[in-house]
Structure 1
Amino acid sequence: MRMFGAVVRALREARGGSRDDFGAYVGYSASQVAMVERGERMPSARFVARAGEFLGARAAVEAAAAHLERSPHPSWFGEYVEREAEAVGLCVYDTHLVNGLVQTEGYARAVLNARFPVLEEEAIERRLEARLSRQVLLNRVPSISLSFVVEEWVLRRPMGGSAVLKGQLKRLLEVGRRRNVSIQVMPTSYEGHAGVDGPMTLLETPERQLLAYLETQGNGRIIDDRDEVSVLHTRYGMIRTQALTPGDSAELIEQMAGEL
């Protein structure tokens, strides 16, 4: 990615274009352009095509792009991963699995092994490495604000077996002690709550734009419509209110781990 970024930067500077102007044309912010130019962000196919047009050097840009190592993530998930990596705030409601950002290696491997159609071993290893690499976000400086709400039944499903689940529960307790992280459990005993429409992820960008990400089987989409995002933020706020407090959640998770 560094080579591609260096080529784009050299062409942009030779043309005399600013990152703001260039970014407006390719659909990236100036900070996102800077990340591409430093080799810190994988450019999308649209970025490559639009960059070639803006810079008047389509052949050179495409030649540089040919050397890019593509993401091991599914194509529909790639844009979200990019957004996640640069987010300053993240709120997540999970209903099926523990979130990838806080999965242990054993739990993540069990999830990938459970996929159907079955993944080849090489694909499992690639995706496992990619999933765990996203967790650098937890140690980023300055720190990101993270809020997780997870359904209780997710934490009771023995994904990978009892030992793997116990390790995952202990991992949640460890991460939940961080000052920038909140982990809450939505108890199964709750008769009805605002999360009945399913999982969601809410992001805040460095430019303070609020986005949402919704995922279905084999597909996902980022939402930037203000009205839609506003509804989801309001819904997430209610979900947090209805879930156990972080302290009570930690006690429940510790109890579940002790039962294994």
Structure 2
Amino acid sequence: MSEGVDEAGWDVEPGDEIESIVQAVGRLLKVCREAAGMTVPELAEAMGYGEDMIRKIERGARIPRPEFLDKADTLLKAQGHLRAFMEDMRKARYPKKVRELAELEGRAVEMSLYSNHNIHGLLQTEEYARALLRTWRPAYSPDQLERMVAARMARKSVFERSPSLELSFVQEEVTLRRPIGDTMVLRRQLQHMLEVAKLPFVELQVMPTGRANHPGTGGLIEVLKFVDGTGVGRSDGDFAGRPVSIPRQLRLLDLRYGIIRAQALTPEESLAFIEQALGEL
């Protein structure tokens, strides 16, 4: 956690549709606190947070972490009323611009993911993600940065689902070479990828830079398939980068991804390639 970022939660983005439920949780916290006969300073001391943070949560300006609600429920003897909102706050932890993506990933039974510029977010370690997001401009505030990192790490829950979904990644070689953060950050990132690649429902492949003629030159491609046979996809090089779900558009992305996958190194060759890249650092 970066210095100066309070672990209680994140500020609500102006105009976010979750604002009303966050305000309702804040009002409930205040009711429970007053019913327990505690002042804001007393609750802040007992919870281990600043008074200003408690006030921000109570007035709905701060999204509390689920862990905060769990602890507050016990402390205030709220009989589960605060805990009842923990799942809502888990969803609210996602910034507005990635909330829909996280929902789609949560429903997918199959994902095909080609990345040509950075290591895909689902494969990133926390320190790599933080270092990468620090390069974005305009720069995130410390609070925004930590919320983005937390949301990216939370999306990795797709690896823990049962039954598991099928995940196929193709990474351009350059993404394994670019020392985002520093060399040690990249080393740990590659080690993490080797671990993920060994999961039975994951296929991780590398596209060598020497493969000059392949249809990934248009940029990132993502295709998500759902249990009902529908899907959604996007590509940097098509449809203005917007998500698409029309079958003929999905077929185009499927075709392109299939060719990319066929031209990349096999999963076994890719593991060896990553191990070699790791040894060269």
TM-score with structure 1 setting the length: 0.70
Q: Distance in 1 between matches of 2:255 and 2:274?
A: 26
Q: Distance in 1 between matches of 2:128 and 2:255?
A: 31
Residue 71 (structure 1) shift: 3.9
Name the counterpart of 1:111.
Answer: 132
Q: Distance in 1 between matches of 2:242 and 2:101?
A: 8
Q: Distance in 2 between matches of 1:248 and 1:133?
A: 30
SS of equivalent residue, structure 1 residue 92 = strand
Q: Distance in 2 between matches of 1:124 and 1:166?
A: 22
Name the counterpart of 1:151.
Answer: 172
Letter in 2 for 1:191: A
1:201 and 2:222 matched: yes
Q: Distance in 2 between matches of 1:158 and 1:103?
A: 13
Extract structure 1 runs of 4+ deviating beyond 3 A: 67-77
SS of equivalent residue, structure 1 residue 88 = strand
Residue 192 (structure 1) shift: 1.4
SS of equivalent residue, structure 1 residue 223 = coil
1:166 and 2:190 matched: no
Deviations 1:193-243 (A, max 9, x none): 111111111001121212213358xx9532011111101101100000000
Name the counterpart of 2:207.
Answer: 186
Residue 141 (structure 1) shift: 0.4
Give the alignment partner of residue 224 of structure 1, picking from 230, 240, 245.
Answer: 245
SS of equivalent residue, structure 2 residue 137 = coil
Letter in 2 for 1:80: L
CA RMSD of aligned residues (A): 2.4
Name the counterpart of 2:258.
Answer: 237
Alignment of 1:27-176 (within 5 A): 71-176=92-197
SS of equivalent residue, structure 2 residue 155 = helix
Q: Distance in 1 between matches of 2:143 and 2:97?
A: 20
Residue 72 (structure 1) shift: 4.9
Letter in 1 for 2:272: E
Residue 84 (structure 1) shift: 0.7
Q: Distance in 2 between matches of 1:229 and 1:123?
A: 33
Residue 70 (structure 1) shift: 7.0
Letter in 2 for 1:106: E
Q: Bigger radius of gyration, 1 or 2?
A: 2
Q: Distance in 2 between matches of 1:192 and 1:75?
A: 37
Letter in 2 for 1:176: A
**Aligned in 2, Cα 1:230/1:151: closer, same or farther, shift over 3 Å?**
same
Name the counterpart of 1:177.
Answer: 198
Letter in 2 for 1:158: P
**Aligned in 2, Cα 1:246/1:167: closer, same or farther, shift over 3 Å?**
same
Deviations 1:42-98 (A, max 9, x none): xxxxxxxxxxxxxxxxxxxxxx9xx97874545443322211111100000001111
Residue 140 (structure 1) shift: 0.7
SS of equivalent residue, structure 2 residue 273 = helix
Q: Distance in 1 between matches of 2:109 and 2:179?
A: 32
**Aligned in 2, Cα 1:98/1:169: closer, same or farther, shift over 3 Å?**
same
Q: Distance in 1 between matches of 2:129 and 2:122?
A: 10
Once the two structures are aligned, what percentage of the paired residues are identical? 38
SS of equivalent residue, structure 2 residue 159 = helix
Unmatched runs of 5 consecutive residues or more in structure 1: 5-63
Alignment of 1:13-24 (within 5 A): none
Letter in 2 for 1:99: H
Give the alignment partner of residue 233 of structure 2, picking from 212, 216, 221.
Answer: 212
Unmatched runs of 5 consecutive residues or more in structure 2: 1-21, 26-84
